[in-house]
Amino acid sequence: MNEFTMTRRGLGLAAAGAAAASIGAPGLASAQAPQFFRIGTGSAGGTYYPIGGIIANAISCPPGAPCNAAGATDGVPGMVAVAVATQGSVQNVNLIQSGNAEAGFTQSDVAHWSYTGTGLFEGRPKVDRLRFVAHLFPEHIHAVVRRDSAIRGFSDLQGKRIAIGLQASGARIGAEMILEANGLRAGREYTAEFLNQAQGTERMQDRGLDATFTVVGYPAAAFTEFCSRAGCRILPITGAEAQKVIERAPFYGTGTIPRTAYEGLEADVPTLTVGAVLAVRDTVPEETVYAITRALWSNTTRGLLDRGHAKGREIVKEGALTGRGVVPFHPGAERYYRENNILR
């Protein structure tokens, strides 16, 4: 049993309901048994997992179900898309490369480095099967501590125990870059724990951990629960601290976590952002990806995103091409954007 299968069986389908995709051309699949279209997402306490469930539901239309009609999804006939819990960006691009997933969510910096074999992927084989479909939403660096913690900034993290994300996640890459840019190296200036948001907040609640760093779209379920139960603060990342990271990784930009994102925050928190994108394997047929892209940006899907998750409202067609970088379009997605005058 491969790692992907173990993850899928152990963690199940996304909350929005599993859907899946026929790998064949739309219109032909209704007479065929469905083939699963696997979308690598993230851990259950983050944002990728629930958003993945909404998108899987939106692009799916299993054989025999009504498609593109009132009261139905605008999904691809014959599709059954499945949102699969994974460790996040790094694992997702590797699953796409190996053929153990047809699609996945990834941070734009991870997509660039993996496709080019540069940066943090230096010396590793290029993930050259990766193809771009759409930018989804900005992700924000969360540097979270307990509300009653004495930690007020990066200088206070010296010698502390910090959760920096799972080993195969983009969150770990972002956390390490930010900490290193501020003179903090794992195993020297701090003790790194490779935990996801839910695991990190559990340990902080029990006072077995001092801080949790991650890259995630707000509001993230794990932090929502932690801030409500134990009280939290989010460390600001501004000025020279932010610029050091942007100079090393120009995919990062500045942004804000609003005071209303989590219970108990006293003010908006300036931080860094990076794009979350949907990528597919190059072997998925053009007609299939064209139909997926059309379904993603349909009015019906708009309603599902708006109602399904706070971050869903930020997934807009006007931002679909943000942060693509050097990763090539999948021909199906490119055709959709050209036909709709989004790409000229």
pLDDT digits (tens, 9 = 90+) for 268-303: 999 999 999 999 999 999 999 999 999 999 999 999
C-alpha distance from residue 114 to each of 95, 130, 139 (Å): 12, 9, 19
**pLDDT for residue 32:** 61
Percent share of the chain, pLDDT over 90: 68
Encoding tokens for residue 261?
């994102």
**pLDDT for residue 321:** 94
Count, in order, helices (H) and strands (E) of the chain: 11, 12
**pLDDT for residue 323:** 74
Average pLDDT of span 200-225 = 93
pLDDT digits (tens, 9 = 90+) for 26-59: 444 445 677 789 999 998 878 999 999 999 999 9
**pLDDT for residue 247:** 85
Average pLDDT of span 64-76 = 82
Higher pLDDT, 32 or 172: 172
Burial class (CB in 10 A: 0-12, 13-18, 19+), 209: buried
pLDDT digits (tens, 9 = 90+) for 98-118: 999 999 999 998 999 999 998
Average pLDDT of span 93-98 = 97
Res. 222 pLDDT band, cuts 50 70 90: very high
pLDDT over threshold 50, residue 134? yes
pLDDT over threshold 90, residue 68? no
**pLDDT for residue 30:** 40
Q: Which of 34, 30, 39, 40 is nearest to 22 (CA)?
A: 34
Architecture of domain 3-136+276-339: 3-Layer(aba) Sandwich (3.40)
DSSP state, residue 220: P
Global pTM value: 0.79
Architecture of domain 140-274: 3-Layer(aba) Sandwich (3.40)
Alpha carbons within 13 angstroms on the beta-carbon side of residue 226 total 28
**pLDDT for residue 28:** 42
| Choice among 41-45, 71-75, 233-237 with the minimum mean pLDDT | 71-75
pLDDT over threshold 80, residue 19? no
| Choice among 22-26, 218-222, 323-327 with the minimum mean pLDDT | 22-26
How far is residue 21's CA from residue 176's CA, in Å, rounded to a whole number?
36
pLDDT digits (tens, 9 = 90+) for 158-170: 999 999 998 878 7
Average pLDDT of span 160-181 = 88
**pLDDT for residue 258:** 96
Residues in the chain: 344
How far is residue 246's CA from residue 227's CA, in Å, rounded to a whole number?
28
**pLDDT for residue 12:** 39
Average pLDDT of span 20-25 = 40
**pLDDT for residue 106:** 95
In the chain, CATH 3.40.190.10 sits at: 3-136+276-339, 140-274
**pLDDT for residue 244:** 86
pLDDT digits (tens, 9 = 90+) for 329-338: 999 999 999 9
pLDDT over threshold 50, residue 226? yes
Higher pLDDT, 216 or 60: 60
Residues 6+ apart with CB under 8 A from 339: none
C-alpha distance from residue 91 to each of 84, 111, 120, 183 (Å): 12, 11, 14, 27
